[in-house]
Structure 1
């Protein structure tokens, strides 16, 4: 089974990372290796890309895609919270650039059985690392309604979270919710009752989008380690090195923005960063038209100060 993977904002990533021949670059969220391929082209002939991803399907796809670069590619199936460990394993104590492309990849959306697509009949899985841990179905069918409402509100920023949780409670009382389309139908029923349209309605953004986002974040504990990993990435940067972070929802972007400001202002890390993006950078209109999944992307970049 193959999956398409279209990396977002590749030109902007290269502009801000400014990769040069011989550089050591760290890709903390490989996906299908699209960004990694572009970086590798820029850092040859002697550069090295160290990459990791918690999703084994992504690592396998990236390994195939980046195979032409041979020993310049060092890939690891692990979570980005392990970046200091894997950089040390590859024999380096610092890197020239770090990239985070956060959120859901095209691979996870396109491969059947992963449980991320709202309109699919796939099992409600949503684990980026399918080797263990609770699934979205486990949370949906086990959490008390109050806890479920809080989860949907906190991680999905969904104003109808309590109504959605009550509707899920009624539905699972009849039988467990096990498929993506079953959960989506429950959320659509809430939207319909509140005037958001019913069956056959076309939405700019599907009513279940925020609920699915919240469950994915909770299942994968995406917020738990992000700030700590970003700090590790800054620690790993050589003076003059650059970090680029692409996020896809406001929760992630808020963490990135506040941390960059903290480190640039000197609190905690002694003014170690210079922010390169005073405002968040968004994809071009042309990119959004050709790749609708890039619509929500937000890019921030910073450079480690020479005296840090």
Structure 2
């Protein structure tokens, strides 16, 4: 028996519907979170179907272990490891892979995790609290140039220079260890957004540092490549992204894999028979409806992209 839903899953009906083609197939949910999508996938699976879920958040793994369905397995690893983690269980080919990118609501709402400036808490920001460097530790050791680059690229923040200088100046006086400390420091050098007065000045900086600490964009690129490698022909990859940096990576991945010939120098006289074959096809973009956006504000920025795997060989390193 599957457990009742406790959180609103974005595109909770559309994503499983787009993903599942064979009710008795093998599926991967790369981002279990609190299990909304996994539970819906299980509801649609047949008796021989299997669902392997990944999450690097220990609290999500604990929640997943509450699902007693024998068709379900939770794996405490980043979704970028899906190929080798599944191979260790004897699974080398799957019917569908689903990824719901970004931070989950329970992570944001827990002050102890340090993801949000709305509540004071330790400046942690790790998806996996059992390993790796915290945000506070990274800010204590990173150079001004590294901080500036991360805030500029991952936060798309035009005040990245003043923010990095302020952080470096401040840490010489005392360490930055709490979300309140960081938010106040950033707010002291970043003016309010005139177009969006409700947006906190530290919003982009918090996003940037979270992405940096968790290597989120690199993890996403590796996960997309891993999914391409393990999907069987006609298998589907479905990815929900919530901000432009993530969606750009997903969009370009599907464009490159659906049209590999565009990567070639057009001046080269390559016969049509020798052109690389597409590894994904039938790529679709699905947006939440107005009713869902009204009921769940988080859905407003969501984009679901779905592609179908072809029979073309996946060469090691493709999709990186």
| TM-score (structure 2 length as normaliser) | 0.85
Which residue of 2 is the match for residue 231 of structure 1? 225
Which residue of 2 is the match for residue 125 of structure 1? 124
Q: Give the conservation status (yes or no) of the 8 Å contact 1:247–1:253.
A: yes
Q: Evaluate the alpha carbon distance shift between residue 244 and residue 125 of structure 1 in structure 2; reply closer, same or farther with a 3 A threshold.
A: same
Distance across 1 between alignment mates of 2:180 and 2:300? 23
Alignment of 1:63-102 (within 5 A): 63-64=65-66, 66-67=67-68, 69=69, 71-102=70-101
CA deviation digits over 1:196-255, x for unaligned, max 9? 47xxxx844322111111101110111223223212201211111110011122222111
Q: Evaluate the alpha carbon distance shift between residue 140 and residue 307 of structure 1 in structure 2; reply closer, same or farther with a 3 A threshold.
A: closer
For 1:81, what is the secondary structure of its paired residue? helix
Shift of 1:306: 5.1
Q: Give the conservation status (yes or no) of the 8 Å contact 1:29–1:53.
A: yes
Q: Structure 2: where are the runs of 5+ without partners? A: 1-5, 264-275, 314-320
Q: Give the conservation status (yes or no) of the 8 Å contact 1:5–1:105.
A: no
Which residue of 2 is the match for residue 146 of structure 1? 145
Q: CA RMSD in A?
A: 2.2
Distance across 1 between alignment mates of 2:91 and 2:142? 44
Shift of 1:73: 0.4
Q: Give the conservation status (yes or no) of the 8 Å contact 1:58–1:107.
A: no
Which residue of 2 is the match for residue 173 of structure 1? 172
For 2:112, what is the secondary structure of its paired residue? coil
Distance across 2 between alignment mates of 1:294 and 1:212? 20
Distance across 2 between alignment mates of 1:174 and 1:307? 58
Q: Give the conservation status (yes or no) of the 8 Å contact 1:167–1:186.
A: yes
Shift of 1:173: 3.4
Which residue of 2 is the match for residue 281 of structure 1? 286
Q: Evaluate the alpha carbon distance shift between residue 301 and residue 138 of structure 1 in structure 2; reply closer, same or farther with a 3 A threshold.
A: same
| TM-score (structure 1 length as normaliser) | 0.88
Q: Structure 1: where are the runs of 5+ without partners? A: none
Distance across 2 between alignment mates of 1:13 and 1:122? 34
Shift of 1:307: 6.1
